[in-house]
Structure 1
């Protein structure tokens, strides 16, 4: 070959003129002719969804594309922001939610889980950010993104395991020559949430065009937006009672095993009075309002670099390379630490105890449950014994007494908990490619990447030191004097804890997460140079092999491993593991009939991939998988195409699912069937609660966690096998010649996953035990596997003593979803301006999840609850209208989110529990708070409008001004306790609905 352009096309893919037909969305301003011209000049095009690089072949699978032009108009600063606007993508963990954010942002296609898709850069995998194998979107170089392709459905044949729900492919600008600088700033109307971004890109061709190099650097920085700065989120609202609420870990302190009234039924957990002198006579307490400490925009700072180069060594061989580096610092800020219901020993001679407080401990009724019900009162200590214990300071003194109690106290004097996540990421690729013939090319490459995240946790009390500091009989010295112990005044009013006490109680901890990915790939692709008799395009193919090696580890210091941090959600154990993958693959595209009546084009395609996995474990588990796909497209007449695809995909268990040890962490549950008065009147229910570890004396006084959180125990499983998926799509593309500039697509998708690697939802675990309570339920394994706080009978408390719900990982799950993607595009010169109309939308018919064969096959489309984590509306679309003038563009983006409701199944479960509890009005806004407040059971349809003005000051300078959320829509308040903490935060769902309010953004682009 005399030139390299043919080989470049062979390794490239579908020309943008064809993309305008086969993609579900096109650029707001792009016309087909300019697109084709740009493609010809760039000479390198990436197609998503196939390994065959033939520019004459359109794919049978639908792809949604978001262009750099649309990104610029919206002024998206991060990849997460870009994807959030695409219908069909369900919000995953990201920057809008602070509690539960691990310093990274992920994507969740179709609501099937953020671990069931692959994020690619120019068709390449990148090293994941954590043990679940997910790529952190914060590492994408947004300034260099040319477009973002989203492919729905199983793509394991093309990209390997994990691509069950699809892939997200960020395509970068190639062969860039020149200098470009971008700077932008965004701020909310309230004057907070400042977001600064700056990027510089330099590129050049050299050696008479034989080579090209591009290098880009970028910087981003965002300020926090606190929930306390918005009226709808300043106070925590209880979703069930509708009242201002908060956490039971409050201030002043709360203690269990108290009886301030000295009566038979006076036992319970009581809060110290505001003046710090006594216990309150009732179990009512001042809930701690944690909302003002939490944030809607996570503070973030990033520095990133990206470089790519290619050089034609000869007419037959080209060398190429790509490198990406990023350093991110994310801070998550949540309410102060403290003692979250931990078991402690308190000497009755503690110097900070008042007489009234001491008497409340001494007067605890220790009669049996039956005796208490009959009115019998037997105090723990007589008044004389209590008085003698008040002065006994030596544990060897016969009068010395200690009481065991569950202690809850918010460390308000210490300040918020801050976790700083610093991530250093790099991924490097190098390879060679060239031509074997004029129509067949080869490509051999290798890549290696590492990610290291250091999490530093600050502002946490240590449970062990709290226990040590409470075992004191003087104000100057603890009974255990190690570590320089300072006695803790937990019995006074808010503010009673001194800096010296806090200095002893808290310490920083650290968790380091490391991942690596090594890859090798060899591919031969092109066409055979011949076509079947009725077709003009040649038969195309791709064959090759791939190797991947994953390793990951979590290395925690002793504090993090011990679970000693108050309010950290559980221990962070050491984890290490890895696996190898060997793969062989092939694809074939066969044009059958072309340029015939009613058969302008009829093309079929197929692919297969064989994979062998070897897990790095003593038992050396391994498994083999085969994935395949078959599809085709038929164009009966110009401007109309029918396309379809069927794929068999798999997802191998990731390192966390394989190697994570059993651990107790936090999940969400609003209503505990053992809470309230229900067990008092239902003997079978009481027996179950006791069988789960609740002391008999707590029956009738067990409470729901006011913050809606409970403990759960789960972990990895080396016996897991790959999950399997069958998916198919069927759609049509319209581009009638009678209406120039118009195109439309509609595609139905259906994805079913079996042998899914899943864990039960909290609702599943509760329903399995409590839906049909009988006398035998107290010995039913689905009941006894739930373990309660041994002091209070509640499902929350210290992880070491309260395992809570059992949410075991298994291959017993099933997931399924189906729906329709659609798009409309129209571009026309209307004389005084160029008009561009575009719409992409999604209708989701169903999205179901079943954890085990005994679990409910739960529907989550259009619903929200603790079981349906993120919101997936039935209808969703984005519509953009743009007028392009000679020097000015005006563009309006309209985003629609359909109405959603509280999950009916959870509402039914709540109703059953409410009736058992004897609520006064279980179907309405009853004062007992047994049911979700009717006001919070529905979020009406939402419409957002963003207005952008773009000024072409000169050929070198462009200024863009954007007003986001132009109407300043506020999110619907639904309270803070009806959904998952990772999504239901600040009384709203901030990852779905805009919590920041109206924002102004300005950007300048300089090109030379």
Structure 2
């Protein structure tokens, strides 16, 4: 091995030793000789710098080691990161409705699209159009440690690293054989999780080369919400009552006048026996919870290989390849006819009873004028019952909104199969004894195929309802089966369902090509008061990223009942050329009050070319400056200031406007409020709800439509962040170290969209006569057949939540670590604490939006939970042949967002406006008796939670280790807050399953064999 590579190995061992004690590189030089002897051939990986000298590093990095991963028995990268304070839950295995078959990480609550996930400091191909990497592709068996770096890291790693990076460092120079097999299961006997890994490595050609190959398999079973008592039934967060979806069984229909009286229109459910309609608007909400899941079924097969070979004393070639095939299934409640699907039904439909027919005929067509005029006279209605030919003069139809759950068919299943590979090859060597070069190229692809099963097609529902006999449909097609939506639950046959359903498919493809050249090392000159030379790194990089979403015609059409909207075709890409440099200057070393004084800085220039003729591209600069000062060996102060950027991703640029579902529990136009408030009535009318004032509904499931899409006018967002911290490692207390670091991150020109609360507030706060013509109000568009904010995507755009560069984001907080190790004589004691205090996490979508601070709050606007305090503390006793370890994870209390509470209160007061106290629908809106007008007081707070995991590890012999773990030792239950208080992807099963454990006590066992 040449001199330069030997130096790299020595520095690598130093870095590993530093991270192992949790001091992020502080005074690692003391252990340099011993570490190098123990790990003579490891390659250096320093997170946060391109200069491969850990003695000069000043970036605060939180680290999780392979030993901690083994004791916790983490099966996925998502599991590993969940234990690190400051990481906010993102989409992952606990997300059922809204999971696209991948797991992501969200650093500091700034968004999962504002960080980078790296492998040994390298980017890997993203999983989708937002540029996010799927954590499911990380080879967990080979992970040596995980480094989390907070704050702008764009200078080192390029754009996207506004909130920081997560760097998975894998083992290098592995020799021997290691096999792992593990199994987990909950105390209730479900949620089995099997994992098996095999790793092989060997040196060859007298140590000039090394090759490592690993294969792994994982498989997990679903855990259904119906199998947990707190989630068995959906609870409305406002009333506190058992609730569910308005898409029910038996069916509900709009425009029904079951009583045949003036002003008797509305939506009514068919009676349980299927003979007629209920006479009131009350209905049996459909309980969708038992079908939904807390642990998504998952299967993965992965391979990882790396090799290197010293061609000569000056050149070493290397390569690395990853392959993974993942299958994730999300399971949700049955499909059906959602959101009051507008259908036309002949009064001669063979399944319609006389009582049901009369209710449709009795619809009041002129109640607004105070005159009761039924849709059809009784004579016309009776004659229409016999008119089966559309050419018959007596043939009559009714237009109605249909709500019908396909309970007879089973759940909707989306199967996501992802095939991923990423390959890298390069060469490195020495220019001089102290300067190295490294040139590499990488290419990766990811393909995700989503197959949707169990969905009714809206077009076929409409066609099947036009039948006038039980055998054929009016279009004469051979495959059409007339549909019975007028009977009791169970009235829909298998033949009917088979006609109504068809599978659909969406394919998402991404590719990333990279070429990079780097020169780094020492320039051979040092400042007179320092002993170490000035270190530098300079380099250039090219990346080409492409992504596309290709949907079949069914997915593009939005014809799938309950799919949440259409999946349009999207395609785009960009090229980026970059040049960058870093410099580390030791100023003073080994002097009184200046044991160390070091300055460092870097800059990166990037030129983007977007694959769009109308888009000129971007040219950006990022830079950082920082330094460390150690007045004595035991104490170090470090700081850093960084300017970072994030270019718009492909979805943000190229996605067309599309209508989907978001969360909103209270619609200001719902109920009787518009009948007594003229300004409110004018606004609701301007949005398309004028014909239905007094009849507009809140969706029982707390969901409404929204429209959004990409914007080619977007420009890069900018970030300024700074960190200031200290490291304490006293000589008088061997084995002790502590760090504390304050971080402050602000993003301007942020690419954001308004929250549902922002869109509602912009229109409905401070209503005046002019509000009915303001853009903030008229841009909201309602269902023309009901006035609701929910309905068919094709006709009901709902709220408009467009992307702009008008947003700002800001967060600040403190990370702290405490580590202590001591030999007790009979055992080795190890204490490790990682904690985070978040001071603020503010989000403002536009200058006129609310500046929301979501720390310690949850709502439809503060989607994922970010507590003020979090920490993880592990205590381990290591004996000669076994270890005992306890992990304590603490999550601070959180409460319902005050701004959301204010919105609820305003809506409740508007509903009471102008009404006598006896007639007010929201008595005492601020009190506990507010009913469905305000969030139930019981659900406005989630108390602090502590989780404990107990592990025991027995070294059966020098080659075999058994690890036993009890996760959630005390079987701590999540706090129930109902299912309509937050965003569906995070608030599910009446709880927040990505933050709080829903599986309960679990048992895990693992065997590791190494040779």
TM-score of Structure 1 vs Structure 2, range by shorter chain: over 0.9
Matching residue of 1:167: 165
Q: Does the CA-based 8 Å contact 2:960-2:1008 persist in structure 1? A: yes
Q: Distance in 1 between matches of 2:21 and 2:65?
A: 15
SS of corresponding position for 2:327? strand
How far off its partner does 1:60 sit? 1.6
Q: Distance in 1 between matches of 2:20 and 2:326?
A: 36
SS of corresponding position for 1:953? strand
SS of corresponding position for 1:916? helix
Matching residue of 1:994: 997
Q: Distance in 2 between matches of 1:24 and 1:673?
A: 52
| Aligned residue runs from structure 1 range 128-277, under 5 A | 128-277=126-275
Q: Distance in 1 between matches of 2:833 and 2:896?
A: 29
1:522 aligns with 2:520: no
Q: Does the CA-based 8 Å contact 1:323-1:428 persist in structure 2? A: yes
Which of 567, 570, 573 is the aligned partner of 1:572? 567
Unaligned runs of 5+ residues in structure 2 are: 913-921
Which of 319, 322, 325 is the aligned partner of 1:321? 319
How far off its partner does 1:13 sit? 8.5
1:900 aligns with 2:894: yes
Matching residue of 2:390: 395
How far off its partner does 1:362 sit? 1.0
How far off its partner does 1:263 sit? 1.4
Matching residue of 2:919: none
Q: Does the CA-based 8 Å contact 1:20-1:32 persist in structure 2? A: no
Q: Distance in 2 between matches of 1:822 and 1:7?
A: 32
Matching residue of 2:16: 16
Q: Any idea what the Cα deviations from partners look like across 1:894-918, whole Å, max 9, x if unmatched?
A: 1100000000110111011112223
| Aligned residue runs from structure 1 range 334-733, under 5 A | 334-340=332-338, 341-367=340-366, 369=368, 371=369, 375-482=370-477, 484-696=479-691, 698-733=692-727
1:980 aligns with 2:983: yes
Q: Distance in 2 between matches of 1:711 and 1:950?
A: 52
Kindly tell me: are residues 680 and 39 of structure 1, through their superposed partners in 2, closer, same or farther at Cα, counting changes over 3 Å? Answer: farther
Q: Does the CA-based 8 Å contact 1:10-1:55 persist in structure 2? A: no
Q: Distance in 2 between matches of 1:800 and 1:932?
A: 31
| Aligned residue runs from structure 1 range 810-825, under 5 A | 810-825=804-819
Matching residue of 1:764: 758
SS of corresponding position for 1:201? strand
Q: Distance in 2 between matches of 1:20 and 1:636?
A: 24
Q: Any idea what the Cα deviations from partners look like across 1:642-679, whole Å, max 9, x if unmatched?
A: 00000000000000000001100011001100111111
> What is the TM-score normalised by the length of structure 2?
0.97
Kindly tell me: are residues 3 and 608 of structure 1, through their superposed partners in 2, closer, same or farther at Cα, counting changes over 3 Å? Answer: closer
More displaced stretch, 261-270 vs 212-221: 261-270
How far off its partner does 1:84 sit? 0.7
Q: Distance in 2 between matches of 1:12 and 1:396?
A: 85
Kindly tell me: are residues 643 and 25 of structure 1, through their superposed partners in 2, closer, same or farther at Cα, counting changes over 3 Å? Answer: closer
Q: Distance in 2 between matches of 1:55 and 1:826?
A: 22
Matching residue of 2:48: 49
Q: CA RMSD in A?
A: 1.5
Q: Distance in 2 between matches of 1:525 and 1:927?
A: 67
Which of 906, 922, 930 is the aligned partner of 2:933? 930
Number of residue pairs the alignment of both structures matches: 998
| Aligned residue runs from structure 1 range 964-979, under 5 A | 964-979=967-982
Deviant stretches of 4+, over 4 Å: 1-4, 10-14, 31-35
Q: Distance in 2 between matches of 1:1005 and 1:215?
A: 17
How far off its partner does 1:11 sit? 8.5
SS of corresponding position for 2:932? coil
Q: Any idea what the Cα deviations from partners look like across 1:288-324, whole Å, max 9, x if unmatched?
A: 0000000000000000000000000000000000000
Which of 297, 303, 306 is the aligned partner of 2:295? 297
SS of corresponding position for 2:55? coil
Matching residue of 2:72: 74
Q: Distance in 1 between matches of 2:867 and 2:530?
A: 44
Matching residue of 1:6: 6
Which of 844, 856, 868 is the aligned partner of 1:874? 868
Q: Any idea what the Cα deviations from partners look like across 1:954-1006, whole Å, max 9, x if unmatched?
A: 11111000000000000000000010000000000010000000000000100
Unaligned runs of 5+ residues in structure 1 are: none
Kindly tell me: are residues 2 and 511 of structure 1, through their superposed partners in 2, closer, same or farther at Cα, counting changes over 3 Å? Answer: closer
Kindly tell me: are residues 943 and 55 of structure 1, through their superposed partners in 2, closer, same or farther at Cα, counting changes over 3 Å? Answer: closer
Q: Does the CA-based 8 Å contact 1:25-1:838 persist in structure 2? A: no
Q: Distance in 1 between matches of 2:852 and 2:263?
A: 41
Q: Distance in 1 between matches of 2:21 and 2:418?
A: 40
Q: Distance in 1 between matches of 2:840 and 2:537?
A: 35
Kindly tell me: are residues 844 and 970 of structure 1, through their superposed partners in 2, closer, same or farther at Cα, counting changes over 3 Å? Answer: same
1:829 aligns with 2:786: no
How far off its partner does 1:16 sit? 3.1
1:953 aligns with 2:927: no
Which of 733, 739, 748 is the aligned partner of 2:733? 739
Q: Distance in 2 between matches of 1:618 and 1:550?
A: 17
Q: Does the CA-based 8 Å contact 1:924-1:933 persist in structure 2? A: no
Matching residue of 1:84: 82
SS of corresponding position for 1:546? strand
